């Protein structure tokens, strides 16, 4: 082998050892056949040494190529995974959950502008649609000429009626006052005459009764003295007779003794009958006196009452019936007359019996009989005097009663006349009462206020259908002429489903978002939730209302969304809800790279609330951790194309 050939071989070995490790194909050894035919004596030692070095380099190159291939396919696999999976990082953020409802904005307080008057001309209209007004502001004015003319006529008629009625009242009151003054001052002749007669009768009655009660009447005293004298003579005769009987102790005949006993018994009967008659007369007299006194007291008190005094009539219900007392007196008188007749007969029998037996005893007995007769006659005379006085007293009492009745009648006549005058006064006042006319006039004046149509509430004129110069009521049959809406606070009517009602309460704060205002949000409050569900097509919901304070951008009729926050977590560890997966046993997990950095593994996590986009992580991950999930936008065809790209890329590289 020539020196040039050896050098060429050495250069080839050096170039082979310098080949890069990332070449896809191994380096092949080349030999020149002519070299094999040359003499080996000079060349073999050199050739053997070169071959050992060449094998070692070859293995190094092979290992380098294998490592390059592994790295290449690993990189290509990560690239495929990155194309298939989406990476997400555990981050702290605020998460809210809420119920969402939709509705339309409307005014809470909206009232119509109405007129109580129709058929009159509209003088002026002070506002236009869209104007803001306050309650009481004038909306329009109506023509008042006709009603003002009615007011003038009513006032004139009322003044004339009042004047006429006052004249009637004054005349009736003058008559009443004059009669009342005459009565109270004693100038009424009829009452005064009756009063004098009453006083005279009362004086006669009281004087006689006083004399009787105090034993001052001369006639009564004379009868009393005669009765006392007769009684004294009787006692004297009886004592003389008894003494003679005791002295003589003479036994009289049985006939005379029987006659004496009959006389004694008849005498006792006469005495008893006299006492009975006297008692009956006293009873009758006492009853008459009591009745007349009570009646006179009642009449006097009644008269005082009519003159302005006061009295209490406790005897108004008492009555007097003289018939029973007269019958008792008559019966007692008949009994006395019968007793006298019996006594006289007994005396006659005794006189007949004692004929031929005259002696001193019978003489004394005759004297005693005479004294008895005198005494009994004196008692009768006394009783007759008492009875006469009682009858006179009764007559006076009757005169008092009659006079009292006459006086009462006179007073009552004056009272009745006063009542007549008072009735005339009352009637005149009733006729003078112009309350109805005054009310009608007041209503007419008050109706002037109806001719100025005012705003019923604060708000904005959202509708107005009248013009100045029109006749109100001609163009419409409704008294409504416009509408005022109060936009200081508005409401949204929403429907809360039966599965969302839990946690929804009156007073709960909500957020109202209006679509037309680029989702501008307003704070609101639930103000009403129906207690009764409404069912439509098998679906139950509850009618509810939300109120909020609008700004000038808000308009009635705008569509809006109402959100009620049910949970609110601040700075919560969270992930995209797409990264959370659920196992068959209900546990949740995410996918992360394992320790080799190449393989995705499942990692259990505990989740909290979710707003649909992000889910709270309670346990299993830390802030900054990376998780991966299949991108839902990658289609099955994209995944297959990615796999083919990976495989094709590997084959091409290997073939270079």
Q: Where are the domains of the chain?
A: 3-82, 87-95+570-655, 97-143+454-565, 179-311+319-432
Alpha carbon distance 259, 307 (integer Å): 72
- Mean pLDDT over residues 226-245, rounded? 84
- pLDDT, residue 73, reads 59
* 8 Å CB contact between 464 and 112: no
- Measured in whole angstroms, the distance separating CA 186 from the mean position of its chain's CA atoms is 60
Q: How confident is the model at residue 117 (pLDDT cuts 50, 70, 90)?
A: confident
215: left (phi over 0), alpha (psi -120 to 50) or beta: left
Sequence-ordered list of residues with C-beta below 8 angstroms from that of 124, at least 6 positions apart, any chain: 140, 141, 468
Q: Is the pLDDT of residue 406 over 90?
A: no
DSSP assigned state of 537 = T
Q: Is the pLDDT of residue 340 over 80?
A: yes
Query: What does the pLDDT look like over 3-25, one tens digit per residue?
Result: 344 344 444 444 444 444 333 33
Q: Is 250 exposed, middle or buried (0-12, 13-18, 19+ CB in 10 A)?
A: exposed
Of 620, 172, 112, 143, which is closest to residue 430 (Cα–Cα)? 172
247-251 own/partner pairs: CB under 8 Å, 24+ apart:
248/360, 248/361, 250/359, 250/361
Least trusted range by pLDDT, from 164-178, 405-419, 543-557, 617-631 = 164-178
Identical fold between 87-95+570-655 and 97-143+454-565: no
Query: What does the pLDDT look like over 560-593, one tens digit per residue?
Result: 999 999 888 999 999 999 999 999 999 999 999 9
- pLDDT, residue 39, reads 37
Query: What sign for the dihedral angle of Cα 561, 565, 571, 574?
Result: negative
Mean pLDDT rounded to a whole number for the chain? 78
Q: How confident is the model at residue 156 (pLDDT cuts 50, 70, 90)?
A: confident
- Mean pLDDT over residues 74-87, rounded? 66
Least trusted range by pLDDT, from 219-228, 282-291, 347-356, 453-462 = 347-356
- pLDDT, residue 558, reads 93
- Mean pLDDT over residues 157-177, rounded? 77
- pLDDT, residue 54, reads 58
**DSSP per position, 376-433:** HHHHHHHHHHHHHHHHHHHHHHHHHHHHHHHHHHHHHHHHHHHHHHHHHHHHHHHHH-
CATH number of the domain at 87-95+570-655, please?
A: 2.40.420.20
Alpha carbon distance 216, 219 (integer Å): 9
119: left (phi over 0), alpha (psi -120 to 50) or beta: left
Q: How confident is the model at residue 152 (pLDDT cuts 50, 70, 90)?
A: confident
Give the other-Cβ count within 10 Å of 103's Cβ: 19
Of 248, 443, 468, 262, which is closest to residue 364 (Cα–Cα)? 248
Q: Is the pLDDT of residue 78 over 80?
A: no
Query: What sign for the dihedral angle of Cα 352, 356, 357, 361?
Result: positive
Q: Is the pLDDT of residue 620 over 90?
A: yes
Joined tokens for residue 519: 């989702």
- Measured in whole angstroms, the distance separating CA 280 from the mean position of its chain's CA atoms is 75
- Residue 38 φ then ψ, to 5°: -70, 170
- Residue 289 φ then ψ, to 5°: -60, -45
CATH number of the domain at 97-143+454-565, please?
A: 2.40.30.170
- Mean pLDDT over residues 374-397, rounded? 87
Which pTM value belongs to this model? 0.39
- Mean pLDDT over residues 305-324, rounded? 57
Structural element, H or E, at residue 105: strand 91-114
Joined tokens for residue 204: 């006669």
């Amino acid at each position: 082998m020539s020196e040039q050939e050896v050098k060429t071989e050495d250069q080839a070995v050096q170039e082979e050892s310098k080949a890069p490790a990332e070449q896809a194909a191994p380096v092949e050894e080349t030999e020149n056949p002519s070299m094999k035919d040359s003499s080996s004596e000079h060349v073999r030692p050199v050739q053997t040494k070169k071959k050992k070095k060449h094998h070692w380099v070859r293995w190094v190159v092979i290992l380098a190529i294998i490592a390059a291939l592994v790295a290449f396919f690993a990189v290509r696999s990560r690239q495929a995974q990155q194309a298939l999976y989406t990476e997400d990082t555990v981050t702290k953020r605020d998460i809210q959950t809420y119920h969402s409802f939709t509705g339309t904005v409307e005014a809470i307080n909206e009232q119509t502008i109405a007129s109580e008057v129709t058929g009159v001309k509209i003088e002026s209209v002070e506002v236009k649609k869209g104007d803001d007004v306050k309650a009481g502001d004038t909306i329009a004015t109506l023509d008042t000429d006709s009603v003002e003319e009615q007011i003038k006529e009513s006032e004139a008629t009322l003044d004339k009626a009042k004047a006429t009625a006052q004249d009637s009242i004054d005349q009736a009151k003058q008559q009443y006052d004059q009669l009342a003054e005459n009565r109270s001052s004693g100038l009424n002749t009829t009452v005064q005459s009756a009063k004098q007669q009453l006083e005279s009768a009362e004086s006669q009655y009281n004087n006689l009764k006083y004399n009787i009660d105090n034993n001052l009447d001369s006639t009564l005293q004379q009868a009393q003295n005669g009765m006392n004298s007769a009684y004294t003579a009787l006692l004297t005769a009886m004592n003389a007779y008894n003494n003679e009987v005791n002295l003589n102790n003479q036994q009289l005949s049985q006939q005379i003794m029987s006659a004496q006993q009959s006389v004694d018994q008849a005498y006792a009967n006469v005495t008893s009958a006299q006492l009975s008659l006297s008692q009956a007369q006293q009873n009758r007299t006492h009853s008459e006196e009591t009745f007349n006194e009570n009646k006179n007291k009642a009449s006097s008190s009644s008269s005082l009452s009519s003159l302005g005094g006061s009295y209490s009539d406790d005897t108004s219900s008492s009555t007097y019936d003289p018939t029973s007392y007269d019958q008792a007196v008559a019966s007692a008188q008949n009994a006395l007359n019968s007793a006298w007749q019996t006594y006289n007969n007994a005396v006659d029998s005794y006189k007949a019996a004692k004929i031929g037996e005259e002696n001193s005893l019978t003489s004394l007995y005759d004297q005693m009989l005479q004294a008895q007769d005198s005494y009994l006659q004196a008692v009768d005379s006394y009783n007759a005097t008492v009875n006469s006085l009682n009858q006179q007293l009764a007559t006076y009492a009757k005169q008092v009663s009659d006079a009292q009745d006459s006086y009462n009648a006179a007073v009552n006549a004056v009272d009745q006349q006063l009542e007549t005058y008072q009735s005339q006064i009352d009637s005149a006042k009733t006729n003078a009462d112009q309350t109805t006319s005054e009310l009608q006039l007041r209503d007419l004046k008050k109706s002037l206020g109806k001719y100025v149509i005012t705003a019923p509430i604060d708000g904005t004129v959202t509708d107005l259908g009248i013009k100045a110069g029109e006749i109100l009521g001609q163009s419409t049959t409704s008294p409504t002429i416009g509408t005022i809406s109060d936009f200081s606070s508005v409401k949204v009517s929403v429907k809360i489903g039966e599965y969302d009602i839990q946690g929804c309460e009156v007073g709960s704060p909500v957020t109202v978002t209006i679509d037309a205002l680029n989702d501008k949000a307003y704070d609101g409050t639930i103000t009403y939730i129906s207690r009764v569900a409404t069912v439509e097509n098998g679906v139950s919901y509850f009618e509810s209302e939300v109120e909020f304070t609008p700004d000038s951008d808000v308009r009635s009729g705008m569509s809006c969304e109402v959100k009620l926050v049910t949970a609110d977590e601040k700075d919560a560890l969270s992930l995209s809800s797409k990264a959370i997966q659920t196992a068959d046993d209900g546990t949740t997990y995410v996918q992360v790279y394992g320790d080799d950095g190449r393989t995705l593994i499942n990692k259990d996590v505990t989740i909290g609330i979710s707003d649909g986009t992000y889910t709270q992580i309670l346990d299993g991950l830390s802030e900054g951790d990376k998780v991966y999930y299949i991108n839902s936008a990658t289609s099955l065809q994209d995944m297959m194309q990615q796999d083919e790209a990976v495989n094709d890329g590997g084959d091409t590289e290997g073939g270079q």
